[in-house]
Chain A
Amino acid sequence: MEQSTSNNRGLGRYWNMVWELAVTDFKMRDQGTFLGFFWTLLHPLLYFIVFYNLFKKWMGHHISQFPLYLIIGIVQWTFFATATSSAIAAIKRGGEFVKSINFPKSVLVYSSVLTILFSYLIEMAILLIFWVFIGESLSLKVFLLIPILLLQLLLIMGLAFLLATISVFFLDIERIWGIFTSLGLFLTPIFYTMELLSPEKRWIILINPMTHIIQSSRAIMLDDMIPQMRGLSYVLGLSLVFLLSGRYVFSKYEGLFVEKI
């Protein structure tokens, strides 16, 4: 079972592969569509328009800056949901590479998330420009969004490796995760506040790691506050568990991918 035919070219060299695949996917996502690049922005924008108009009367009373509150939630949630869904199908999408080239399969997972990260960074940049444009203040605390993003990436990568591995063997996971992310839209405080839930039910929202990511982003951007460390430590711990187990199952089974896809 031993094999030493792995690539002596080193992982660093494969970053070029990660990068080229991600850039190609990013360019291709909107290629040939009428609105092209704007589709990237249209997705969160449409969610925003619908949620805003549905809930502005109701939530507007509870949340002082409801539109901004809402858009942060949507942007952060969309990133999480699209990145993980993209990673699930990563191995299948790269099937022909797996079958005829020897390379670390993790390249496919990294590039699938990187593609989505590109759109996210653009969304975030536009959001921040818009923020300043409408006269909202931003202090230096805005840089705290960077560690939040890193934490979010850690969470996404852990789930990405887990889900990508499982989906090679069980097709159902793609459907299951689709349902999960649809429900997550409601089980994450995106358009409502946690205070609206009765205290006995709040745990449902609190075990969701994206709740803490979104609440922390709001704390930084809306309230100019340093986010709650307790929630974020929970996310960090959970992400590490996902990442370690994800990397473990991935490297354990990646040798079998070629025969399963």
Chain B
Amino acid sequence: MSSALPVLEAENVSKKFHIGSQEKFTFFKSFRYKFTGSVPKKEFWALKDISFSVNKGEMIAVIGPNGAGKTTLLKNLAGIMAPTSGKVKARDDIFTIFELGIGFNVYFNGIENLYLYGALHGMTRRDIHRNLPRIIEFSGLGDFMYAKLSEYSSGMRQRLAFATIIQTAKGIIMVDEALSVGDQAFQCQCLAAFEDLLRRGNTILFVTHGIGEARRLCSRALYLNQGCIRHFGEVNETEEIYRKDWGASMPDECPPVPAQS
């Protein structure tokens, strides 16, 4: 099943951000900075020399503490951002599920939004039309498909978005913390959908803080820390290292709040 070439490759990918440069320059400011020779910003390397490859049909969990560069990595792999140095090679279409429901229009009903959302992800009307019954079934929204989006709960909006992508996407699918969407039943449904996607030769990369139920589907896990690959390998082994690093500071349960005197 797996082709000779990996479906996704990162070669020495590094990404530099300028912190404090988020402000937009007006003409005046840009002249001032040119004049004074200083632009108020600091360099920050969000990714440092990342190299790894993913084979077709694999599911990879990307783990790491907050700020480790997980989302930045996926954005660079997906081509949303260009790496400062290094190369990314993708040999399949990439679908990203980063922020669920962007572009949704509250005045449109579920079906209309589904076509709009699909279009934003580069799908044709035919792609969506062909998968419509499956999307509706997966979302579990029933009659709400014909209700305006303004009448949806936030959970329902996310289910609609997730259903659209997961039932239509083909290629490499990147998911950022979207498994936290919905209740337990919906999560199980998502895992089943992932399994189905993998069986049909798709590739999945997903960011998570706890691999949990997805463990049995993942072939490998990538553990990022401070922009570097700490470990890339078999799931349990990687998770072990992750736990060892963060054992005390990332307990399974939150410590009790000390009583105030």
Contacts and interface: CB of A to CB of B under 8 A. Distances in A.
A31 B115 contact: no
Given A20-B119, A97-B102, A170-B25, A102 B107 contact: no
A255 B94 CA distance: 17
Interface residues of A, number: 37
Interface string A23-39: 01001100110000000
Nearest to B85: A1
B259 to A, nearest CB: 43
A167 B21 CA distance: 16
Interface in B89-113: 89-90, 92-94, 96, 98-99, 102-103, 105, 107-108
A198 interface: no
Most B CB contacts (10 A, CB to CB) among A6, A21, A101, A260 go to: A101
A169 B75 CA distance: 21
A74 B105 CA distance: 32
B81 interface: yes
B80 interface: yes
Interface stretch (B47-55, B122-130, B204-212, B213-221): B122-130
Contact of B26 (A9, A99, A172): A172
Nearest to B101: A96
A103 interface: yes
Interface string B51-83: 000000000000000000000000101111111
A9 B93 contact: yes
A102 B24 contact: no
Interface string B223-236: 00000000000000
Most A CB contacts (10 A, CB to CB) among B24, B83, B102, B120 go to: B120
B134 interface: no
B25 to A, nearest CB: 6
Contact of B89 (A5, A28, A96, A255): A5
Contact of B79 (A7, A17, A27, A169): A7
Most B CB contacts (10 A, CB to CB) among A3, A21, A28, A97 go to: A3
Contact of A16 (B77, B93, B124): B124
A24 B120 CA distance: 12
B164 to A, nearest CB: 13
A4 B81 contact: no
Interface string A195-236: 000000000000000000000000000000000000000000
Looking at chain A's contact residues, is the secondary structure mostly helix, strand, loop, or mixed?
A: helix
B27 A13 contact: no
Given A2-B87, A101-B120, A101-B121, A170 B24 contact: yes
A32 B108 CA distance: 12
A21 B119 contact: yes
Given A16-B125, A100-B96, A258-B81, A169 B24 contact: yes
B94 A102 contact: yes
A42 interface: no
A206 B96 CA distance: 49
A52 interface: no
Given A3-B87, A9-B122, A21-B120, 13 more contacts: A1-B84, A1-B85, A19-B119, A20-B116, A21-B119, A28-B107, A97-B103, A98-B80, A101-B102, A102-B94, A170-B24, A170-B25, A255-B82
Can you list the 9 inter-chain pairs with the closest CB atoms, starting with the nearest? A5-B79, A20-B119, A100-B98, A102-B79, A96-B102, A255-B82, A5-B90, A5-B88, A17-B119
5 contacts: A5-B78, A9-B122, A13-B122, A17-B122, A170-B27
